[in-house]
């Protein structure tokens, strides 16, 4: 199986997993919030020198399609990951969101990635900064239908 076919299989598999997931697990009072125990988890990869580079590779491979390579995410309706609203979330929260996704808003779960790869993505996300976001929710312009 070639690289394109493999990518299609991975995306299809992630979508199927998302459809089978309990929608109430992604939502608390209408907001996409991680459970407190998940939010409190420390990042075991944060002190590893190779984590940022590995996280960048994984981000480009799995996240850039919607969030763009620079994390701005605006062309697909995905949130700008560089904004303070996203950057202020704990590592545990970001890990939980990557793992579980938010299928109602269009983000599939990425629990098929190795745990350390998901933590490495969080390390990489911390390098993305943009204080010039227009809105507090990490989006620009019309927020209708966009993920928080």
Residue 96 backbone phi and psi in degrees, to 5: -60, -40
Task: Report the pLDDT value the prediction gives residue 3, as an integer from 0 to 100.
Answer: 60
User: What's the predicted TM-score (pTM) here?
Assistant: 0.71
Task: Report the pLDDT value the prediction gives residue 16, as an integer from 0 to 100.
Answer: 39
Assigned CATH topology for domain 3-21+45-125: Cytochrome Bc1 Complex; Chain D, domain 2 (1.10.760)
Tally of CA atoms within 13 A in the half-sphere of 142 that contains its CB = 5
Which residues of the chain are modeled with pLDDT < 50?
7-29, 136-148
Retrieve residue 38's tokens. Answer: 């998940």
Task: Report the pLDDT value the prediction gives residue 96, as an integer from 0 to 100.
Answer: 98
Domain ranges of the chain: 3-21+45-125
């Amino acid at each position: 199986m070639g690289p394109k076919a493999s990518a299609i299989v991975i995306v299809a598999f992630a979508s199927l997993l998302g459809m089978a997931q309990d929608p109430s697990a992604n939502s608390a009072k209408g907001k996409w919030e991680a459970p407190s125990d998940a939010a409190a988890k420390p990042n075991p990869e944060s002190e590893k020198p190779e984590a940022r580079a590995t996280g960048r590779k994984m981000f480009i491979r799995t996240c850039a399609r919607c969030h763009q390579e620079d994390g701005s995410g605006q062309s697909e309706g995905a949130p700008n990951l560089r904004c303070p609203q996203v950057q202020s979330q704990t590592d545990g929260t970001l890990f939980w969101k990557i793992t579980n996704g938010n299928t109602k808003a269009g983000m599939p779960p990425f629990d098929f990635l190795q745990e350390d790869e998901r933590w490495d993505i969080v390390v990489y996300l911390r390098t993305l900064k943009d204080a010039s976001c227009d809105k507090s929710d990490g989006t620009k312009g019309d927020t209708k239908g966009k993920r928080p």
